[in-house]
Amino acid sequence: MGGPSPQQLEQLRRCAVLHVDMDMFYVGVELLDAPQHRGRPVIVAGSGPRSVVLSASYEARRFGVHSAMPVSQARARCPSAVLLEPHREAYAHYSRIVMDIFRSVTDRVEQLSVDEAFLDVSGAIRRCGPPVEIARGLRRTIHERTGLTASVGVAENKTVAKIASAHCKPDGLLVVAPEHTVAFLAQLPVDRLWGVGKRTSQVLQGAGLATVGDLARTPLPRLHALVGTAAGTHLKQLATGHDPRPVTPVREEKSLGAERTFQVDVAETAQLKRVLLGLAHDTAVRLRRHGLRAGRVGLKLRYADFSTISRSRTLGHPVSSAHDLYTEAAALLDGLGNRPQSVRLVGVRAEKLVGSDHALQLSLDGREAEWGAAEEAMDRVHHKFGPGVLRPAKLMDPAVPNRPARDILDGT
């Protein structure tokens, strides 16, 4: 028996865009180590007074708990919720596994965040079967390798695939065939369209346009009068199922960085520098993962009164090691002199990014190469054995064995 005919192949390729979205990813990762809380309202957040909700289980969401909500408010809405501290290195570890699974099927993967991505599987159909079978295989492999679940939307374009994955959550699969696209969209409220925010939704609903079908039937001049020419034309296209944007594997990154908000404001320079070192390692890992180097390093400080300053320094050559990022960030911190207040937030930013194949001028003693090689070896250890098994000694919390110092801080 042969594969699909050219006509069948062309038909399958018309509906070959997948949007894969992990189900309550942060909660799911935490429950791998705390399975006794499955089925209960769970909130992932720091325990400090300034903490906000990172993620909430579906059981907690029924009480109105959502991400970015202050923990105090979330506890008031759901007093029975279990509060679990976030473990960011674990999220990065499982994200890498999931993205590697995607890239084992197709190289056309557009990663949107740690837990979701678009895939164009049109080139994998001959090898892996129809898109719906590819989607089933991805969900099965993700669960087998991680214990986590994912929802997948399959459609002819990115907008419809993303809506479909949200429509079938949790742990679902929904295929929207091209001939059913307009009918599928028509029943949805207008705020389900990608890019329709609260304000636009209010304007549209105030004009009697409550559903996507209402939008599709509305003449363009009226939409232009309501939301502007560009937005009106864009919404009309989406409402009628048109989205020509391709799945773009490589997105240009203008900058990468990491920051931490302290539970208690910090005045000591030594403590700030220890956190800077952890942030430099977080940023360097991301640079190497994307095959990038930084030509400029930035430092961000937010003081107790919420006033914020930033400083940056252009480097003699692009770098990707945490050692180099930290050295520059620490020098910027020292250059501020006496700080007027304690620090509420500190951040590191890698800017002026170039590809890792960019010409690199090394020092005569080769120290940059040595640091880079050592950190790449750490990346391989973390990828194979999981996060947290190897870290710089300065990031060890002496009071808690085998726990990185930055894990005791409340992240933002």
* Residues of the binding site for Mg(2+): 21, 115
Q: What's the rounded Cα separation, in Å, for the pair 297 and 256?
A: 10
Name every residue whose Cβ is closer than 8 Å to that of residue 99 and which is 6 or more positions away in sequence: 109, 111, 117
Q: Is 206 helix (H, G, I), strand (E, B) or coil?
A: helix
How many Å apart are CA 181 and CA 253, to the nearest integer? 33
Q: What phi, psi does 283 have (nearest 5°)?
A: -70, -40
Strand segments, DSSP code E, in 24-115 are 42-44, 55-56, 82-84, 109-113
Distance separating alpha carbons of residues 53 and 302, to the nearest angstrom: 21
Give the H/E segment covering residue 313: strand 308-319
For the record, the structure tokens of 311 come out as: 């400083």
| 116 annotated active-site | yes
Sheet architecture: strand order including 17-22: 109-113, 116-120, 17-22, 150-155, 173-175
Kindly name the residue from 110, 116, 156, 375 that is annotated as catalytic. Answer: 116
Q: How far apart are CA 364 and CA 348, in angstroms?
A: 27
Report yes or no: 347 and 259 within 8 Å, Cβ to Cβ: yes
Q: Which residue has the tokens 């120290």?
A: 367
The count of other CB atoms within 10 Å of the CB of residue 301 is 21
Amino acid code (one letter) for 78: C
Known binding positions: 21, 115
Contact yes or no for 74/55 (Cβ under 8 A): no
Catalytic residues: 116
